[in-house]
């Protein structure tokens, strides 16, 4: 057995201990400065569109909340913009694309939602193409609620999808009543998060949706920590929560209409090991404050 393999149990134990420390810190912050975020709710009978840049972003960003929408009687469509072919798990891009599509189908099944596989080749698609597709989808679906990525992120594809959505929303005649930004690796923090969803009633199927993305297991591992931190920050009696920044559609358009190359702000995501987790909440605080204005 290699020395690295011998160290793995110790590293896992240390990771759990570090996470427990940060959970305590986030819980203390939640008690000292109680959250002002509104609890998530749905009136039922709504049409919901979740736009994900990659297959897995929908399960990462709002999978538990999708399940709550379904339980409330809402109809949810998961639109996956790109095919995830550039993931490092396989050298064959076509094979990886097919694998990610199968995983997305499994996740959609776990989330009890309809999958709309847009399937643009990851890393090689023009903004105008996705904009036109989204204009078509928004016109057909006429969603009441849209969940989307945003500029509070470091991934260029997440930025491009947010930009394309803004351009589409700017021209469609029917605007969604609500738009909610979700988190992927970069937390919104309580500077921006104004809606929080308690996942206690849907934790098992929400986890199953994440586990469906077997090829992305390394990336997804930190999401469970983020959900636990979110619950403690908002003082919820649960071990998992999702946070959203709900804002008017026109505000989203205004923030994302310009090309991503013109966006300001540096952010950090959660890493595989928990030691530096709080930095993901700290780095970019000034940029988040400016966006909140």
Distances (CA, A) of 113 to 97, 140, 192, 211, 277: 21, 17, 27, 16, 31
Q: DSSP class of residue 173?
A: S
Which of 217, 218, 158, 209 lies closest to 182, judged by CA? Answer: 158
Beta-sheet pairing, 241-247 with 38-39: unpaired
Are the CB atoms for 69 and 46 separated by under 8 Å? yes
User: In which order are the strands placed within the sheet that holds 178-182?
Assistant: 38-39, 195-198, 241-247, 178-182, 145-148, 47-52, 75-82, 114-120
pLDDT in tens, 127-144: 999 999 999 999 999 999
CB count in 10 Å sphere of residue 178 = 18
What distance in Å separates the CA atoms of residue 264 and residue 262, rounded to the nearest whole number?
Answer: 6
Domains of the chain: 36-292 (3.40.50.10320)
Radius of gyration of the chain (CA): 18
| Residue matched to tokens 């996705």 | 130
In order, the DSSP letters of 57-69 are: HHHHHHHHHHHHH
CB 268 within 8 A of CB 186: yes
Res 218: pLDDT: 86
State the pLDDT at residue 161: 98
What's the pLDDT score for residue 174? 92
Whether 193 contacts 244, CB under 8 Å? yes
Integer CA distances (angstroms), 62 to 2, 16, 132, 222, 233, in order: 39, 24, 24, 15, 17
Helical packing angle, 57-71 and 217-233, nearest 10°: 50
| Residues 6+ positions from 152 with CB-CB distance below 8 Å | 181, 183, 186, 188, 192, 245, 265, 267, 284, 287, 288, 291
Residues of the chain with pLDDT under 50: none
Q: What is the pTM of this model?
A: 0.96
113: closest CA among 103, 121, 105, 102? 105
């Amino acid at each position: 057995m290699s020395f690295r393999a011998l160290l793995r149990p110790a590293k896992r134990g240390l990771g759990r201990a570090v996470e427990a420390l940060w959970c305590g810190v986030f819980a203390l912050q939640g008690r000292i400065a109680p959250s002002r975020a509104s609890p998530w709710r749905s009136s039922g009978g709504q049409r919901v569109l979740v736009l994900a840049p990659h297959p897995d972003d929908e399960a990462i960003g709002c999978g538990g909340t999708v399940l709550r929408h379904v339980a409330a009687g809402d109809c949810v469509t998961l639109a996956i913009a790109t095919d995830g072919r550039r993931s490092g798990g396989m050298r064959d891009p076509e094979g990886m694309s097919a694998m990610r599509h199968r995983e997305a189908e499994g996740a959609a099944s776990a989330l009890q939602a309809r999958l709309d596989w847009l399937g643009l080749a990851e890393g090689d698609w023009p903004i105008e193409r996705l904009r036109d597709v989204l204009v078509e989808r928004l016109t057909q679906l006429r969603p009441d609620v849209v969940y989307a990525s945003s500029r509070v992120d470091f991934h260029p594809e997440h930025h491009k999808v947010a930009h394309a959505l803004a351009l589409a929303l700017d021209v469609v005649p029917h605007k969604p009543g609500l738009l909610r930004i979700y988190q992927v690796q970069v937390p919104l923090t309580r500077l921006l998060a104004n809606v929080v969803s308690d996942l206690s009633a849907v934790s098992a199927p929400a986890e199953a949706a994440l586990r469906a993305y077997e090829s992305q297991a390394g990336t997804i591992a930190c999401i469970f920590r983020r959900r636990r931190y979110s619950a403690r920050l908002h003082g919820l009696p649960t071990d998992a929560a999702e946070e959203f920044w709900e804002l008017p559609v026109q505000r989203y358009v205004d923030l994302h209409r310009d090309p991503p190359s013109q966006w300001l702000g540096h952010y950090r995501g959660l890493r595989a090991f928990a030691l530096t987790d709080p930095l993901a909440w700290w780095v970019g605080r000034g940029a988040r404050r400016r966006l909140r204005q």
